[in-house]
């Protein structure tokens, strides 16, 4: 249980500093997959690509955790975005840069895999420009589809057709 708390703290530490906002469960999006980590990571990358995003990098977090005495070898943060959109938004809204590209933390928990990310709807409270609201809403819809795709991939029927 301490490891789960440390992982959540690590994800928050990796997230950019944001203006004060109330903390609530809906600020995070969490999905659990029955797949082992390697398969869930593959499903996550495929689901991201299927929504038209490009993965910019995958950052290992497990090394820092191991240096603190926690045993885990399966913890990553996947950064992704649409390059043209990221460039356009960064140029037009420099205060948005710390939140770009989008990211999802993925880590193993026994035989399952957990995905955690900030709900992009939270950004609407920090960036009140009306033209950004549809962007944040689309990001939220895409993340729901991405996480649901990974979750469902872990429940695929592998037997004969019913």
pLDDT value of residue 155: 63
Residue 61 belongs to some domain of the structure: yes
Assess whether pLDDT exceeds 70 at residue 22.
no
Strand ranges of the sheet holding 75-81, from the earlier edge strand across to the other edge: 28-33, 112-118, 102-109, 75-81, 54-60
Give me the sign of the Cα torsion angle 23, 29, 33, 38.
negative
Domain count, the chain: 1
Asked if residue 86 is part of any domain, the answer here is yes
pLDDT greater than 70 at residue 140: yes
User: Is residue 9's pLDDT more than 90?
Assistant: no
What confidence tens digit (pLDDT) does each residue in 30-71 have? 999 999 999 999 999 999 999 999 999 999 887 767 777 777
Looking up residue 72, the CATH number of its domain turns out to be 3.30.310.70
Of 57-61, 124-128, 153-157, give the lowest mean pLDDT range. 153-157
């Amino acid at each position: 249980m301490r490891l789960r708390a440390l992982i959540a703290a690590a994800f928050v530490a990796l997230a950019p500093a944001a203006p004060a906002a109330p903390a609530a469960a809906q600020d995070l999006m969490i999905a659990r997959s029955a797949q082992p980590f390697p398969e869930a990571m593959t499903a996550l990358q495929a689901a991201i690509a299927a929504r038209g995003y490009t993965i910019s990098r995958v950052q290992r977090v497990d090394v820092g955790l191991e240096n603190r005495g926690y045993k885990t070898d399966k913890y990553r943060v996947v950064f992704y975005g649409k390059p043209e959109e990221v460039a356009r938004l960064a140029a037009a809204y420099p205060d948005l840069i710390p939140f770009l590209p989008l990211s999802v933390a993925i880590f193993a928990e026994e035989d399952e895999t957990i995905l955690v990310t900030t709900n992009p709807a939270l950004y609407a409270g920090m960036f009140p420009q009306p033209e950004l609201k549809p962007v944040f809403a689309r990001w939220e819809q895409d993340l729901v589809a991405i996480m649901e795709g990974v979750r469902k991939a872990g429940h695929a029927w592998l037997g004969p057709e019913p």
